[in-house]
Structure formats: C-alpha cells, structure tokens
Amino acid sequence: STQAYQKSGGDTTMNYYLNQTKILEINRHHPLIKDSLCRIKDSKNDKTTFDFAHVMAEIAILRSGYHLEDSTDFAKCIESVLRRAVGISLDEKVEDESNDDDMNSK
C-alpha cells in the first residue's frame, strides 16, 4: 500500500508522483458527458445529473487506484441513480421482512 511504502522511506521518484496534484480530465465526447450537458441546459437543478456527475467523478477516483473517502455516500448515490433508472420512488421504503409470510400464503 502507499502508506506502507511511505513509512518505509521509499525513493524520491515515488514520493514525487504521490505528492503531485491530481487532475480530473473530462472527455467531452463521452456519451454520458454529452447527455449530462444536455440535461444541465434543460434544468440547472436536475438531481439526476448531479448524481451522475458525482458517480462519474468517484468512478474516476476508483479507476485511478485511489480509495473513496466515503463509500456509504457513494453507495447511496448509486442507489439513487438506479431507482430513477427503473422508476422507483426515492421515498419508497424497503418492506419489512414480516410481509414475506403474507406473500408466501398467497
């Protein structure tokens, strides 16, 4: 791990790369970016677009080999996007397991 490497001293080249400013490059030709731009133009307060941007940025972090600071927030954002994609209300609660008995008796 990076932390273990840094604790052991490491070499100056590795330390140089670890301490560089991280840059997120956005590919304006990517279909998700193009769609997001259209959504923002239509509505600047589109929650779905905000969630898409959040997910895409965190996916870039993961793909680059970094760890997310808040995986719970990431999971909530993914669930929100999935619910919207299949048309399930964000307010719909998970049913109580006691309802399983009612379903099995039908």
28 within 8 A of 61, measured Cβ to Cβ = no
CA 95 and chain centroid, separation: 26
* Vertex 3: Cα angle to 65 and 56 (nearest 5): 25
Could you report the per-residue pLDDT of 1-55, keeping only the tens digit for each?
444 544 555 567 777 767 777 777 888 899 988 988 898 888 888 888 888 888 8
Say what the pLDDT of residue 1 is. 45
Pair of tokens at residue 100: 């399983």
Say what the pLDDT of residue 43 is. 86
Q: What is the C-alpha separation between 100 and 32, in angstroms, rounded?
A: 39
Say what the pLDDT of residue 31 is. 92
Say what the pLDDT of residue 9 is. 54
Say what the pLDDT of residue 5 is. 47
